Amino acid sequence: MSKFSTMFYVVAAVITLQTILMVLTNVGTPLSDSTPREKPRKVHLLIISTWRAGSSVVGQFFNQHPDVFYLKEPAWHVWNAMPHNNAHVLHMAVRDLIRSIFTCDMSVLDVYIQNRSYVSNLFQWSSSRALCLPPACNTFSRKKIVTEANCQKYCAKSPFNKVEESCNAYSHIVLQEFRIFDLKVLYPLLKDPTLNVKILHVVRDPRALAKSRRQLKFALELDNAIILNLNDRTVDDTGREKVLREICRSQVDMYRTINDRPPPFLKDHYMLLRYDDLVRDTTRIAKQLYTFAGINPTDESMTWIYKMTHGENLENPKPFIITPRDALHMSLKWKEELTLQEIISVQKICKDFMEFFRYQNIDSEDELNDLDLETVLPIHKDVFNWHNDDENE
């Protein structure tokens, strides 16, 4: 053996011995302030619901928290770019978009947005508090709650790359989405070890849905046509009934998927919320939502939540903008604006939904006029028997 080889083995042996001694010395030693700590995993919360179900209000509960980066309906870009496909065909594209945004990779939007010069090229961008504050927009301080009007006035020309920079600056990423009709489509995201995805599933009394959707029927034409797989965007009353039936069916099927055979990776990662319960006990349930998402309530966010749901307004002049309102009163406006015949029709169309999510039928004028008749029945607390078989692992 050469002198060089002997020297090499000696040095290697010394280094190995030093490494072993360092490991043994540090076993059980507490971390010092200078010891690098593992960075906390980001929380990725996906709010799934349907149009006019109150999920925009729920989304704003999270949006107003200083730890949250929030986007409303990013999959609108997928449906708007490919309007001649049906909802189920577009599921994979929607899921891939959600995955990319959860990792703050906004390059996925290149496929769907022709002009990505400014943050204002993003659908519903001004409903995101994070895009109205640094680092996305330096006009306002990070602690300020900014109105959409002021955000649009001062932040619309922020460069689009600020969306990605802003996303990376927050510990929680919350997306609100209507365009999921099958929960199993999301399983790859929930099982992805690099993500920490939670699902908040928001449902609402279908009679309130029908009343609100009727008022905005022209604004929902594109979405209705995609749900029905129609090339022509014109959807008549019969078509709108079919859309409501599909919406009710899909919401029941998604929850039934969890209720019948819940896979293990959904444990502590799925929560059902009836909007009707939220407006009856807002503060308590808002705190439950924060706990589910791993967020500590702040005085400012809780004050905002109370103000927005306990206002004096009994109407909503701007249906796509969250303003202070009497949320409980507005949730029951369907009793005043739908006829008994219309109510019975919705109850028939959404029969399984009414039964599954525990809503009381109204079958007579006397019941409709009975102010003491409770139309939202107690729902059983979720108790899932988590399966651990090979199929779900």
Secondary structure (3-state) at 42: coil
Contacts of 354 (CB under 8 A, 6+ apart): 206, 347, 361
Tokens of 226: 């995609």
Strand order in the sheet with 270-274: 68-72, 172-177, 43-48, 197-203, 270-274
Average pLDDT of the chain to the nearest whole number: 84
DSSP strand pairing (197-203 vs 172-177): unpaired
Tokens of 251: 């919401």
pLDDT range class, residue 62, cuts 50, 70, 90: very high
Q: What is the pLDDT of residues 184-199, one digit of tens each?
A: 999 999 999 899 999 9
Q: Could you give the residue ranges of the DSSP H alpha helices within the chain?
A: 3-26, 55-63, 76-81, 91-102, 148-155, 161-167, 187-191, 206-215, 221-228, 237-260, 275-278, 282-293, 299-309, 327-331, 334-337, 340-349, 351-356, 365-369
Q: 267 vs 322, which has greater pLDDT?
A: 267
Q: What is the pLDDT of residues 269-320, one digit of tens each?
A: 999 999 999 999 999 999 999 999 999 998 988 998 888 888 766 555 555 5
Q: What pLDDT, on a 0 to 100 scale, did the predictor assign at position 313?
A: 60
- How many Å apart are CA 176 and CA 75, to the nearest integer? 9
pLDDT range class, residue 380, cuts 50, 70, 90: confident
pLDDT range class, residue 70, cuts 50, 70, 90: very high
Secondary structure (3-state) at 124: coil
Q: Is the pLDDT at 126 greater than 80, yes or no? A: yes
Q: What is the pLDDT of residues 18-58, one digit of tens each?
A: 333 333 333 333 333 333 444 568 999 999 999 989 899 99
Q: What is the pLDDT of residues 230-247, one digit of tens each?
A: 877 778 888 889 999 999
Q: Is the pLDDT at 156 greater than 60, yes or no? A: yes
Q: What pLDDT, on a 0 to 100 scale, did the predictor assign at position 28?
A: 35
Q: What pLDDT, on a 0 to 100 scale, did the predictor assign at position 328?
A: 86
Contacts of 32 (CB under 8 A, 6+ apart): none
pLDDT range class, residue 6, cuts 50, 70, 90: very low
Q: What pLDDT, on a 0 to 100 scale, did the predictor assign at position 234?
A: 75
The mean pLDDT value for 323-330 works out to: 79
Q: What pLDDT, on a 0 to 100 scale, did the predictor assign at position 322?
A: 66
- How many Å apart are CA 341 and CA 7, to the nearest integer? 95
Q: What pLDDT, on a 0 to 100 scale, did the predictor assign at position 40?
A: 61
Q: What pLDDT, on a 0 to 100 scale, did the predictor assign at position 387?
A: 57
pTM of the model: 0.85
Contact indicator for 159, 165 with CB cutoff of 8 Å: no
Return the H-helix or E-strand segment holding 173.
strand 172-177
CA atoms within 13 A on the CB side of 102: 25
pLDDT range class, residue 260, cuts 50, 70, 90: confident
Q: What pLDDT, on a 0 to 100 scale, did the predictor assign at position 257?
A: 87
Q: What is the pLDDT of residues 366-378, one digit of tens each?
A: 999 998 899 999 9
Q: What pLDDT, on a 0 to 100 scale, did the predictor assign at position 13?
A: 42
Q: Which domains does the chain have, with CATH numbers?
A: 43-104+168-369 (3.40.50.300)
Q: What is the pLDDT of residues 208-237, one digit of tens each?
A: 999 989 888 778 888 999 999 887 777 888
Tokens of 15: 């280094």
| Location of structure tokens 């400014």 | 118
Q: Is the pLDDT at 384 greater than 90, yes or no? A: no
- The DSSP annotation for 60-93 comes to HHHHTSTTEEEEE-TTHHHHHH-TTS-TTTTHHH
Q: What pLDDT, on a 0 to 100 scale, did the predictor assign at position 231?
A: 75
Q: What pLDDT, on a 0 to 100 scale, did the predictor assign at position 314?
A: 54
